[in-house]
Amino acid sequence: MKRFALSLFTMLIAASMSMAAVPTKMANLPTGDLKVNDNIDQIFRDNLTAFLDLTPRSYEEMTGQKLTLKETMKLKAAQKMVKNQLKKADGEDTFPKGAYIVLVILGWGFIPLGILSDWKGNDWWVNLLLTFLCWIPGVIHGLSKMKNYYN
């Protein structure tokens, strides 16, 4: 039971650290808070795959310094953030197409439209208004906007 509580507590801390200010562009990735070591930071800017494959053990082998628990959690949060930014930059869908269609048909189309556009733009507002006026125009609008986000 103690192990379960400790692992749950660790996951909550890691999740809260990963929810911190997520940058919107790859060029704006923070480098101040998430640095593990200044010397290693320059190397990983040039080679993201090496950074994403880095483990605390491999870091210790490279530098001879062992990471603390806080530094390990920062490293994992930074790796997760970089992976998410790479997915967005590659154009991978962040919302499943099937769930998008189901939500649009149920009248909740403004939610996936907002998520896919990062709540910027007017598409989700228009869909919300059309859905509240009469359900069918909101469904038509949501399905017509689907081509902007999916191939």
As a whole number of angstroms, the distance between CA 115 and CA 112 comes to: 5
Please, where are the H alpha helices in the chain? 2-18, 38-46, 48-53, 56-63, 69-90, 97-105, 110-116, 123-133, 135-145
pTM for this entry:
0.42
118-139 per-position pLDDT tens digit: 888 888 999 999 999 989 999 9
Angstrom CA distances, 93 to 55, 104, 110, 128, 150, stand at 27, 17, 17, 22, 7
62-116 per-position pLDDT tens digit: 888 898 999 999 888 888 888 777 766 665 556 788 899 999 999 999 999 988 8
For the chain, what are the domain ranges?
2-90, 97-148
Q: Is the pLDDT of residue 61 over 80?
A: yes
